[in-house]
Copies of this chain bind each other. A is one copy, B any other.
């Protein structure tokens, strides 16, 4: 915290967010940090709707660039996942200024497209973790409180338990990382512990995505893979037989990547924070 207020800008590069979420998050923030100078600005773009998305590509792109470049904001907090972040990357990246590099970015799921692209551009303060829309989950206030504690205070109790300043880390949704492989937005994850999670996929899709990810030469340079939670798995016909951990171990073994166990991340209220790169201090 500085002597001025801490300002968080919220934008929705993917799917739209309901007004109810903003209200709940503001109430929670006031109850937790009411004595602090804290401002959370939900950009009006969050509530727009255009088909699948929270407004058309140009509008989502402009809102993201505006908040990222605005020196008044200390952090960019992504509103929710869904799908759509990938559609604005190529247009947004050239518009980001030095001011955009200074702030913290927090999100996960679909937002891995943007986090990955920013990490490929060496943005220093990126993190995989809860978003405002998580407040609608069962016990979701815990997730949002964790995100706020990380954004405002960099609270290390919010971090995935294995994270230390001894190694670099990164975290992604499996399907989203798969769709960055081989593009200019695939970040260099050499020597990183790569934590992976997924939701609402068939087991065969998780297997195929892990084939893809672990076959990429750049990914074979990671320090190891940790598997987060794979929740809400869709029924496989015929049954895939293997569990997500058996699948992850299979592809780690096939690719020569160390399998390092389970990571405490996923599409749920327990989703811990994973800062990208090496922790500056612990």
Contacts and interface: CB of A to CB of B under 8 A. Distances in A.
Oligomer: number of copies: 2
Contacts of A254: 90
A182 interface: yes
Interface residues of A, number: 35
B184 A215 contact: yes
Interface stretch (A125-133, A136-144, A238-246): A238-246
Interface stretch (A5-13, A204-212, A265-273): A204-212
Contact of A183 (B86, B203, B215): B215
B90 A215 contact: yes
B179 A211 contact: yes
A178 to B, nearest CB: 7
The dominant DSSP class at the A interface is loop
A217 B184 contact: yes
Given A181-B182, A217-B184, A211 B51 contact: no
A240 B83 CA distance: 11
A59 interface: no
A163 to B, nearest CB: 27
22 contacts: A50-B241, A51-B238, A51-B239, A51-B241, A51-B242, A52-B203, A52-B204, A52-B236, A52-B238, A52-B239, A178-B178, A179-B208, A179-B211, A179-B212, A180-B212, A182-B186, A182-B212, A182-B216, A182-B218, A183-B216, A184-B215, A185-B215
A17 to B, nearest CB: 13
